[in-house]
Amino acid sequence: MNAQGGNTVGASEPCDNTVFDPSHLAEGIGFPPDEIFAARSNAHGISFSKRHETDKDLGARTS
28-56: per-residue pLDDT in tens? Answer: 998 888 888 878 878 888 888 887 776 66
Answer whether 12's CB lies under 8 Å from 58's CB: yes
User: Whole-structure pTM over 0.85, yes or no?
Assistant: no
SS3 44: helix
49-58: per-residue pLDDT in tens? Answer: 887 776 666 5
SS3 43: helix
The backbone region for 21, taken as left when phi is positive above 0, alpha when psi lies in -120 to 50, beta otherwise, is beta
Nearest Cα neighbor of 31 from 40, 23, 20, 39 is 23
For the residues of 2-25, what is the DSSP string, one character each? -TTS-----------S----TT--
